[in-house]
Chain A
């Protein structure tokens, strides 16, 4: 009786590797510190962009006519 064919093992998938061998672990204290500091940064960026992200009060008329 013919032997059942052995399933060929798939070659291992190549996994992209980073320059670092192991990503560094963050401690609980570090994680909390990053989140605690976030409020200040968020406020600073929002304030910087306040005048850019607004509806300009403008009466500039958009009326380029189509080709004739």
Chain B
């Protein structure tokens, strides 16, 4: 019989490192130290350790590679669960017994164990023990961290169910993948689950790329990386469109990062520097509070304040802090002008600098309205919106996002009048994903133009404009007039 043991232990960074050392095979990697510090920052108090957990993602890697070794490791992992409050095995056993009696334990467990902060699978691979790990995001400080590209993961310990909201992370295992594999895997994990599909495993991604029809591309083999083309292939292989933005326009890069992350879509960032290349997955951001003039697209947007990014870097850990800053090189006598975004991340106590080569977001395949077109239609509407808001025009800012329509309509609760919102919801036919150009005066949302995403823009964009939603009541009459004139539903 395959037996699992469940232990309840107090958390400390040192104890966590020791547990990973024992379960993983000995080496304390940078990722282990990062996770120990991160869990300390989350104020984890108790760890529940499962000694034998079947992780689908590791099992696939095992089938692809490790099982064919002369001395294969175990095909199971040790899984560690992290909790906010102190409890012991007696309490855990009591909850399991009560759950067997069909008691609702939600409140009891929340009271006695506190928040469930997530889990970490420890693989029996000495050099890269950190397998699939889903940890709660950083808590907010005085300025909120806008970490959107995360999703809910139900987790079971025996017969008990817990939930963590995060984006899966795993340390690169050089034999089976590369930084790009880990990065694409994290991004696809989120979008696949969000659109009701099964998240692919790293091994499935590696295989998908190896099977790409273009024979000229280098095949994936152990210890090689992926090319940019293969990153796109991998995204396409799992039914998503790789929406790319190349690195020469910092303001468009910042706008795209801001738009996709706000839409809950992680972004694979391909970095270049010093003859090397790397890939990380952006999950969230923090705005600086100050507009950067080099980040202004054709219209003033909130992405002009883009500065701090939270990324999954497989060399470091989940939600690692980094910054992006525009750069330009102007020396017209000797070389062409260069512009772009510089990416800076702290590693081993020193700042490491890269240039953003390109970014790519895995988007739902029926989103045919590109960021460029969305920016185009928002730019086209700007003069009318400026006129409509009168003297407040100089404080206007736009932001763009894609939203699942099933989430958009409920999100209008308390933002529009109940009657107007219900009327809109009952007579508007929406695509699965809609695009929203939201306009602010300072920090106050004023109005949003909602677009169908299943076609390209034609003519003046009327073909895709689904609704005008007024969020500031003092402008209701003005924007209702616009909507009525153009026969567009409004709320």
Contacts and interface: CB of A to CB of B under 8 A. Distances in A.
Interface string A5-33: 00000000001111110011110101110
A36 B372 contact: no
B363 to A, nearest CB: 12
B390 A32 contact: no
Interface residues of A, number: 47
Interface in B115-146: 127-128
A36, A41, A62 pick with most chain B CB within 10 angstroms: A62
A52 B246 contact: yes
Nearest to A55: B244
B246 A59 contact: no
Contacts of A2: none
A23 B375 contact: no
Interface in B347-403: 357-358, 370-373, 375-377, 379-381, 383-384, 387-392
A26 B388 contact: yes
A8 B421 CA distance: 30
B110 interface: no
Contacts of B373: 42, 46
Interface in B171-221: 171-174, 178-180, 217-218
Contacts of B249: 49, 52
Given A18-B391, A59-B227, A64-B276, A28 B232 contact: no
Contact of B387 (A24, A39, A67): A24
A3 interface: no
A61 B478 contact: no
A60 B272 contact: yes
B469 interface: no
B227 A58 contact: yes
A25 B229 contact: no
Interface in B249-282: 249, 252, 270, 272, 276-279
B285 to A, nearest CB: 20
Contact of A42 (B248, B272, B380, B444): B380
A9 to B, nearest CB: 21
B74 interface: no
A41 B298 CA distance: 10
A36 B460 contact: yes
A1 interface: no
Given A17-B474, A52-B246, A53-B372, A62 B180 contact: yes
B25 interface: no
Contacts of A63: 178-180, 223-226, 277
Interface stretch (B4-12, B150-158, B324-332, B480-488): B480-488
Contact of A28 (B225, B391, B485): B485
A29 to B, nearest CB: 10
Contact of B388 (A15, A16, A23, A61): A23
Given A23-B389, A50-B372, A62 B225 contact: yes
Nearest to A57: B229
B457 interface: yes
B91 interface: no
B486 A53 contact: no
Contact of B232 (A19, A24, A43, A55): A55
B314 interface: yes
Contact of A34 (B315, B384, B441, B472): B384
Contacts of B276: 64
A36 B462 CA distance: 10
B475 interface: yes
B491 interface: no
B114 interface: no
Contacts of B474: 15-18, 23
B393 to A, nearest CB: 10
14 contacts: A15-B474, A23-B390, A23-B474, A31-B481, A34-B383, A39-B380, A55-B242, A56-B357, A60-B272, A61-B224, A61-B277, A62-B278, A65-B172, A65-B178
Given A30-B384, A52-B372, A62-B178, 14 more contacts: A23-B477, A24-B387, A31-B481, A35-B462, A38-B380, A39-B460, A41-B379, A48-B298, A53-B244, A56-B357, A59-B227, A60-B277, A61-B224, A61-B225
Interface of A: 15-20, 23-26, 28, 30-32, 34-39, 41-46, 48-68
